[in-house]
Structure 1
Amino acid sequence: MKIKNNMVGWFEMPVANMERAMKFYEAVFEVKIERHQMGELDMGWFPTTQEGSGAMGSLVCMPEFYKPSQEGALVYFTAHSGDLNNELGRVEAAGGKVMMPKKLIAEGYGYMALFEDSEGNRVAMHSHG
């Protein structure tokens, strides 16, 4: 079977406090998150584009089903500045914690870093520079 799209089509980041989480991600990545409340489900959609690759995703607050965690799947955010140190430098001021500074993955694959967001999730960041 030939794959036509990336394997991940959507991701959801559990949050305990939507306002705090939106403020955190907007500050770190300098983007606007669009809030959508669907009954008990409270979502904050990350901005999307039809160009490029990557999965779309959302912050999600629904305590009965979504719990922030340091364990489990690891979501990598792209540092659109081109150097993840720019975005990583805003993590602590926004209420998060740098867990692992910028580190070379391997030649040709770029760099990564790990941080804890305002909700207690372990999150990664990637850049080529």
Structure 2
Amino acid sequence: MANAVNWFELPVNNMERAIEFYNNILGINLSKASNGPMEMAMFAADHENYGACGALVKADGYNPADSGSIVYLNGGEDLSDPLNRVESAGGKVVMPKTSIGENGFIAHFIDSEGNRVALHSMK
């Protein structure tokens, strides 16, 4: 059975700043794309396996928010690594690494654009 979520979009005001933020904390390279009037930067996707993929999006009507739905990004082996880079990259940790029992650990942060985003890892 497939996962219920297959796509997410994080609104941004400054695409270059947001790309730098996520590249820095996650150790990745977001790839730029466009879709008509939308400016986008795509998170890498593994199309051979189930799971969500998504993008940073700058467009009319897309407004960063620190309330509402929360996207949980893969924190890798141990979410402490990317979480420790959040503040130096221009974000703010708002919930430290927290155990959720047998389901691993989570943490929340505000990204460079003002979105509340989260990390998950098993360690």
TM-score range, shorter chain: over 0.9
**In the alignment, which residue of structure 2 is the partner of 1:125?**
119
Two-structure CA RMSD over aligned residues (Å)? 1.1
Which aligned runs of 4 or more in structure 1 are off by greater than 4 angstroms? none
Point out the structure with max Rg over C-alpha.
1
TM-score by length of 2: 0.95
**In the alignment, which residue of structure 1 is the partner of 2:87?**
92
TM-score by length of 1: 0.91
Instruction: Give the number of equivalent residue pairs.
Output: 123
SS in 1 for 2:100: strand
Of 94-103 and 35-44, more deviation after overlay is shown by: 35-44
Gaps of 5+ in 2: none
Gaps of 5+ in 1: none
**In the alignment, which residue of structure 1 is the partner of 2:66?**
70
1:8 is the counterpart of 2:5:
yes
Partner residue of 1:101 out of 93, 96, 105 = 96
Matched residue type, 2:61 = F
**In the alignment, which residue of structure 2 is the partner of 1:19?**
16
Q: Deviations over 1:16-67 (max 9, x none)?
A: 01000000000000001000123310000001113544201000001x2100
